[in-house]
Amino acid sequence: MTAPLQKTDVTEAEVPRQRAVTKANTPASGPAREGVVLNVFSHGFLALWALMIVLPLLWLVLSSFKTDAQIAGSAFGWPANWSFDVFTRAWDKGIGDYFVNTVIVLVFSVPLTMLFGSMAAYVLARYEFWGNRLVYYVFVAGAMFPVFLALVPLFFMVKLLGMLNTYQGLILVYVAYSLPFTVFFMHAFFRTLPTAVFEAAILDGASHTRTFFQVMLPMAKPGLLSVGIFNTLGQWNQFVLPTVLMQPQSGDDPERYVLTQGLIQLQQQQGYETDLPVLFAGVTIAMIPMLVVYLSFQRQVQAGLTSATLK
Amino acid sequence: MRKGQYQFVAGFLLVPVALYLVFVIWPYIQTFGYSLTDWKGQSQTFSFVGLDNYVALFQDDIFLGAIWHNILFLVFIPVITILLALFFAFMVNAGGRSRAGGVSGVAGAGFYKILYFFPQVLSLAILSVLFGAVYRSDSGGMLNGFLVSIGLVDPGAPVEWLNEPNFVLWALIAVIVWHGVGFYLVLFSAAMQSIPRDIYEAALIDGAGRAQSFFKITLPLLWDAVQTAWVYLGIVAMDMFILVSTMTAPGGEFGGGPDHASETMSTYLMRNFLIYGKSGYACAMGVVMLLLTLILSVVTLRATRRERIEF
């Protein structure tokens, strides 16, 4: 892991030797020659890390086409037969249900997060009233505490409301725990919107509510997209909250595991029955939506997550 | 402010604030209270035991070991991730062949950024299955398979990456680093690109080499981003729940093995809460986690404080 780091010294040490060689051939300027060497090293290390990212992923996807015996035998065999059965088998073995559960929860939780987050951020950013600062700081403070601090009472709160192992329980909890960041980010965004537009809308006779939904919210679209992607990724990948809140309470209670829980469940079943290709196929299925979302929105994903961290 | 505005503000804040208070703030506050009780969680009856839970915690060798492991994560995860990310960010942004005296990025910088970032959008559950397979303790595992094929490891006795107390923490650190480097590369790149180019050009005219311009210009101007990265990675290191609970041999339910060699505060908390039913004790652990997180943030921000450079 640390090898590339130590190699930085090599780059420096290598420079004089290379310089002597190039001096004979081309009378280039100092930094340019240094640049050529650095360029070769850059590409070398960058390509090495790129391989370290791609190979394990590719290897896992390939492994889902193998048989159990092949997987256990040797790490680098090529799959004997390319059958896609394993993906249907993985889907039927539970991945399908877990996938649907996750989608059901997110279809509600992400839009609700965006709606409630924007509403709160908007009034906090653009209206003066008593307690404004206090409410804002209470929201922002929530982003700094570890979720483990709340876990035990949260479980009993959701139980009290009769919402353990229900979609609506998880949806409400996801929304609540996504609010700090959403409010924080959208607050900054609404503050940058021009006041003139707002005043024009009010003068034209629009109500405050109407101004928000028809004027301000559409103007905040780039911000909404960034936070929306951030929340989608965060909630799709959430594991701790469903582990506590989505467990069947009795034998005849349906299993409402989300995808992350389901994968881990499949992985742990491997102790009793070996069907590793199904597990790997499950991971491949779980990876595909992420890959698609990422590749279609990679600019916004990177910008969203980066600005999220920097602010 | 007119009367209609108050109604509007109240109407917009009602639902978000209510959700947030019920599911986030109130559980956070309750944790402190419950941590002073012997609550078992099953019944509603419990009695006040003062600081007994905290006293017990600091005599609990497993918990003290868990704190120690979190501290190790806290040191190594940020250091390794940030150094690698800085190295790659510099390569991507300044490793290109210089044209006309300027400092330029490598060819394909955009491609590297897209690829490196991808692990960040995968859930840790996926990573757990992926690296579970990579670290398999027979030659069917990617790592062992590779080491066997180049002759470094005896096929008869492959390395037990996750069952060997001396390796397990490093194996977990490697996964988190693999997951995080791309994200921090993008973060640092964004910060690097906001540095005005004329500073570099001025330094170049004054005869500064690349190494000098990196340490004297880039790094000081990146300091804010590095500091942020440190806090975020510190929070990751305090958590570590998913990877430890799913990848390591059980030291009970929720991983932490072999023989508590990889136990973290979060896994021990979860086991005490969901398996042993010691809710009050688990709450006390939550409070300790919060305190350590706060100390971490304050210390990081203090220790890394520099004079702010405006540009």
Percentage of chain A with pLDDT > 70? 86
Domain spans in chain B, listed from the N-terminal domain onward: 60-303
Q: Which residue has the higher pLDDT, B56 or B256?
A: B56
pLDDT digits (tens, 9 = 90+) for A76-99: 777 777 778 889 988 988 889 999
Give B301 to chain A, closest Cα distance, Å.
14
Instruction: Please give the average per-residue pLDDT across B219-247, as a whole number.
Output: 88
Inter-residue contact A114 to A175 (CB < 8 Å) = no
* Cβ–Cβ contact A54 with B under 8 A: yes
Query: From residue B196, how far is each of A31, A249, B311 by CA, in Å?
Result: 19, 59, 8
Question: Residue A284, CB half-sphere, CA atoms under 13 Å: how many?
Answer: 23
Q: Whole-prediction pTM value?
A: 0.86
Tell me if A185 sits within 8 A of A227, measured CB to CB.
yes
Q: Are A125 and A190 in contact (CB under 8 A)?
A: yes
The mean pLDDT of A1-19, rounded to a whole number, is 39
Interior CA angle at A5 toward A2 and A6, to 5°? 95
Gap between the terminal Cα atoms of chain A: 30
Q: What is the pLDDT of residue A252?
A: 75
pLDDT band, very low/low/confident/very high, at B61 (cuts 50, 70, 90): very high
Q: How far apart are CA B17 and CA B274, in angstroms?
A: 29
Pull the structure tokens for residue A64: 């889902």
**Structural contact between residues A269 and A255, judged by C-beta atoms closer than 8 angstroms:** no
Which chain B residues are within 8 Å of A153, Cβ to Cβ?
26-28, 30-31, 34, 283
Put simply, the chain A residues between 214 and 253 with a CB less than 8 A from any chain B CB are 233, 236-237, 239-240, 243-244
**Selected residues 155-194 of chain A with any CB under 8 Å from a CB in chain B:** 155-158, 172-173, 175-177, 179-180, 183
Taking CA–CA distances from B253, the nearest residue in chain A reads A268
Residue B72 confidence class, pLDDT cut points 50, 70, 90: very high
Q: At residue B50, does pLDDT exceed 90?
A: no
* Arithmetic mean of pLDDT, A42-71: 88
Percent of chain B with pLDDT over 90: 41
User: Half-sphere exposure of residue A210, counting CA atoms within 13 Å on the CB side?
Assistant: 9
Greater pLDDT, A15 or A232: A232
Residue B3's pLDDT band, with cuts at 50, 70 and 90, is low
Sign of CA dihedral A286, A287, A290, A295: negative
Q: Domain B60-303 adopts which CATH fold?
A: MetI-like fold (1.10.3720)
The closest of A80, A114, A107, A184 to A142, measured between CA atoms, is: A184
The yes-or-no verdict on residue A208 having pLDDT over 60 is yes
B61: which 2 tokens? 């060798």
Closest partner residue to B293 (CB to CB) among A146, A244, A261 is A146
Residue B126 above 80 pLDDT? yes
- pLDDT by residue (tens digit) across B204-218? 888 877 778 778 888
Please check the confidence at residue A234 and state whether its pLDDT lies above 50.
Answer: yes
Q: According to the model, what pLDDT value does residue A271 have?
A: 64
Q: Compare CB distances from A4 to B87, B209, B224 and report the shortest one's residue.
A: B87
Per the model's pLDDT, the better-predicted residue between B81 and B163 turns out to be B81
Q: Is the pLDDT of residue A250 over 80?
A: no
Q: B-chain residues within 8 Å CB-CB of A180?
A: 20, 24
Measured between CA atoms, how close is A108 to chain B, in angstroms?
A: 15
Q: Which long-range contacts (CB under 8 A, 24 or more apart) does A301-306 make?
A: A301/A229, A301/A233, A301/B117, A301/B121, A302/B113, A302/B117, A302/B186, A303/A226, A304/A225, A304/A226, A304/A227, A304/A229, A304/A230, A305/A230, A305/A233, A305/B120, A305/B183, A305/B186, A306/B186, A306/B187, A306/B190
| Average pLDDT score, chain A | 83
The pLDDT tens digits of the residues spanning B103-120 come to: 567 777 888 889 999 999
Q: Using 50, 70 and 90 to split pLDDT, how confident is the model at A9?
A: very low
Q: Is the per-residue pLDDT at B156 higher than 70?
A: yes
B284-307 average pLDDT score: 84
Residue A137 banded pLDDT, cuts 50, 70, 90: very high
Q: How confident is the model at residue A48 (pLDDT cuts 50, 70, 90)?
A: very high
Contact A149 B15 (CB under 8 A): no
Token pair for residue A69? 């015996």
Residue B96: its pLDDT value, please?
65
Mean predicted confidence (pLDDT) in B55-61? 93
Give the pLDDT confidence score for residue B215 in this predicted structure. 82
Task: Sort A71 into a burial class: Cβ within 10 Å, 0-12 / 13-18 / 19+.
Answer: buried
Instruction: State how far the Cα of A225 lies from the Cα of A233, in Å rounded to an integer.
Output: 12
Is the pLDDT at B100 greater than 50, yes or no? Answer: no
As beta bridge partners, residue B249 has none
**Residue A249 DSSP SS3:** coil
Pairwise CB contact (< 8 Å): A151 & B273: yes
Q: Tell me the sheet residues that pair with B37.
A: B48
Q: Tokens 């909890």 identify what position?
A: A173
pLDDT recorded at residue B20:
95
Which position has the higher pLDDT, B41 or B176? B176
Q: Reply yes or no on whether the pLDDT at A100 is more than 90.
A: yes
**What pLDDT, on the 0 to 100 scale, is given for residue A28?**
45
Measured between CB atoms, which of B126, B142, B266 is closest to A263?
A: B126
Here the tokens at position A72 are: 């256990």
Instruction: Say what the pLDDT of residue A202 is.
Output: 86
pLDDT reading at B192 higher than 60? yes
Partners of B48 in the β-ladder: B37
pLDDT exceeds 50 at position A2: no
Q: What is the arithmetic mean of pLDDT over B53-72?
A: 93
Which residues make beta-bridge pairs with B256? B250
DSSP per-residue string spanning A108-162:
HHHHHHHHHHHHHHHHHHH---TTHHHHHHHHHHTTTS-GGGTHHHHHHHHHHTT
The single-letter code of the amino acid at B199 is I
Range among A9-23, A293-307, B231-245 rated most confident: B231-245
Q: Most confidently modeled of A112-121, B149-158, B239-248?
A: A112-121
Choice between A302 and A53, residue whose per-residue pLDDT is larger: A53
Query: Does residue A49 have a pLDDT over 90?
Result: yes
What does the pLDDT read at residue A5? Answer: 38
ipTM of model over 0.90: no
Phi and psi at B37, nearest 5°, equal -120, 170
Say how far apart CA B177 and CA A215 lie, in whole Å: 43
- Which two tokens mark B197? 């180019």
Residue B262, token pair as written in the block: 């990889």
More confident residue, B228 or B42: B228
Report whether pLDDT(A223) > 50: yes
How many Å apart are CA B50 and CA A213, to the nearest integer?
51
What is the enclosing helix (H) or strand (E) of B248? none
pLDDT at A17 over 80: no
DSSP conformation class of B258: S
Distance CA(B278)–CA(B42), nearest Å, equals 9
Q: Chain-centre distance of CA B277, in angstroms?
A: 28
Least confident interval from A22-26, A120-124, A148-152, B254-258:
A22-26
* pLDDT mean over A140-169: 90
**Largest Cα span, chain A:** 82
How far apart CA B116 and CA B277 sit, in angstroms, is: 42
SS3 of residue A16 by DSSP: helix
The rounded distance, in Å, linking the Cα atoms of B137 and B148 is 12
> Is the per-residue pLDDT at B13 higher than 90?
yes
Structure letter (DSSP) for residue B215? I
Taking CB atoms and an 8 Å cut-off, how many pairs form between chains A and B?
A: 306
Mean pLDDT of chain B: 86
Pick the residue from chain A with its C-alpha nearest to B21. A176
Among partner residues B101, B183, B238, which is closest to A305 by beta-carbon distance?
A: B183
Specify the amino acid at residue B249: A
Select the residue of A12, A208, A286 nearest B5 (Cβ to Cβ): A208
Nearest-CA distance B62 → chain A (Å): 18
Distance, CA of A50 to CA of A287 (rounded, Å): 18
Quick one: B279 exposed, middle or buried, by C-beta within 10 A (0-12, 13-18, 19+)?
buried
Using an 8 Å Cβ cutoff, are B182 and B86 in contact? no
Q: Which amino acid is at B243?
A: L
